[in-house]
Amino acid sequence: MISRACILFFCLLAITGCQDTDLYLATEAGLDAVQAVTLSDRDVHRLAEEAARLTDSKNRLAAPASDYARRLERLAGRHLEADGFRFTCKVYLSPEINGFAMADGTIRIYSGLMDMMTDGELRFVLGHEMGHVVRKHIRKKIQMAYAASALRKGIASQGNTAGAIAASQLGGFTEMLVNAQFSQQEEREADDYGAAFLQQHAYGPEHAVSALRKLATLGNDHSFLASHPAPGARADRLEKGVPIPAETSSFLEQSLTRLKLLISSLDEHMKVLLSGVGF
């Protein structure tokens, strides 16, 4: 029986047709685009680890004996395992007000954000980032960033100027992942997880509201708000105790679901097509 990878290869060959097409890159692009929505937990973990290593190599990590690292260890040290995840928290020495998480449990907090927050507020930030991991928001971002990098491979497989520009951008996967914007629903879920984290460990829930109020003072054009939108409205919601609307799926979730259904349909058509073909 001819393999699906071979069928996909021949389809790509027929589609591209040009002599100056890099068929290896073109085939890899098609396979990556399909695999992006069916990544295994192991694949997601591996991609997250690679992205974390890359960002660590490009930033200055606080030494374990530094005041920043010791403070973060004091605040997060006994909370590094939750809901089946083990978290690794470190500090980037930078005045930037930012923080992010990876799907493998990596959490990085910038010293500028630590300077801005009290201990209670910083605990909420940690709980919020944990929430993004536990609720698998980061996994969805990896799927989309991975699919986008596959698209660039497809463009790069063409021997032209556009392809050359795209090829030079193939390393942008990690940047896309770190800077990916969360939906309002995802932010609400992460906020609720962070607030529950405070309550679970007997920390004052008011720290969640005050942390978001501080972030709201940054202004709409601040880079942090590009990936963490509407902190003022989120603070209002937590302060009023407004629950998350029942099952409001994001555009990303809907898109991934539709793509999975399309792949499943194509898979069934391929089985029929190949049912009488053998080698």
- Give me the phi and psi of 112, to 5 degrees please: -60, -40
The CA-CA-CA angle for residues 190, 192, 193, to 5°, reads 65
CB 133 within 8 A of CB 85: yes
The catalytic position among 121, 129, 186, 189 is: 129
Instruction: Note every long-range contact of 179-183, with CB atoms under 8 Å and residues 24 or more positions apart, other chains counting.
Output: 179/226, 179/227, 180/141, 180/144, 180/145, 180/227, 181/226, 181/227, 181/229, 182/132, 182/137, 182/227, 182/228, 182/229, 183/250, 183/251, 183/252
The answer to whether 129 is a known catalytic residue is yes
The CA-CA-CA angle for residues 53, 55, 61, to 5°, reads 90
Neighbours of 173 (CB within 10 A): 20
As given in the structure block, the two tokens for residue 5 are 């990878």
The residues that are catalytic are 129
